[in-house]
Amino acid sequence: MNHLLDANTLIEAKNRYYGMAICPGFWQWLLLKNEALALASITPVMEELTKGNDDLAGWAKGNSGFFHSTTDEETQLAFGQIAELVADRAHRMKIGAMEEFLAGADPWLIAKAMTTGAVVVTHEVLNLDAKRKFIIPNICRELGVEFLNTFELLHRLEARFVLPA
């Protein structure tokens, strides 16, 4: 897989610009690109999505192959690197920011990207002044992991959602 999707990319798509009933082509495109190994996500993201009881939770449950495991040794070791980095920076952050970050899917997403050479796709924005919480782009930047947003991904992979004539 070349790109790994953060939960927020799927949630925002469903809630805003690519609602499942409005733009089913987007969701089909995701699955086609997954089959072509161009993109995927990870099991901890699926676990976040399936806590809900909506169309996206159903989509995630019905397409579990879209979500890759993070239990492999390489990803576990990369997670350890991320935990060390976050612990080293925790004194600059709001109390509890480290625990909140490490308890979610975000560090696993970055760890999987580190081990596969994938690009992280997120709607979070680089903010080197962030003190409230750890954000994906800041950690990616420190670890040399490329990141971009959904729209940059769509351009990069030349997505086209065309209605039949």
pLDDT at res. 71: 97
Sign of CA dihedral 70, 72, 75, 79: positive
pLDDT at res. 53: 92
Burial environment of residue 68 by CB neighbours within 10 A (0 to 12, 13 to 18, 19 or more): buried
Sign of CA dihedral 24, 7, 9, 82: negative
pLDDT at res. 137: 98
Residue 163 to residue 149: CA distance in whole angstroms: 24
pLDDT band with cut points at 50, 70 and 90 for residue 164: confident
Q: What are the phi and psi torsion angles at 120 (to 5°)? A: -85, 130
Domain range summary for the chain, segments of one domain joined by +: 3-69, 73-148
Residue 36 to residue 147: CA distance in whole angstroms: 20
pLDDT in tens, 50-108: 998 999 999 999 999 999 999 999 999 999 999 999 999 999 999 999 999 999 999 99
pLDDT in tens, 6-57: 999 999 999 999 999 999 999 999 999 999 989 999 999 999 999 989 999 9
pLDDT band with cut points at 50, 70 and 90 for residue 151: very high
Residue 13 to residue 154: CA distance in whole angstroms: 12
**CA nearest neighbour of 142 among 96, 86, 67:** 86
Does the pLDDT of residue 123 top 80, yes or no? yes
Which region, left, alpha or beta, applies to residue 93 given φ > 0 means left and ψ of -120 to 50 means alpha?
beta
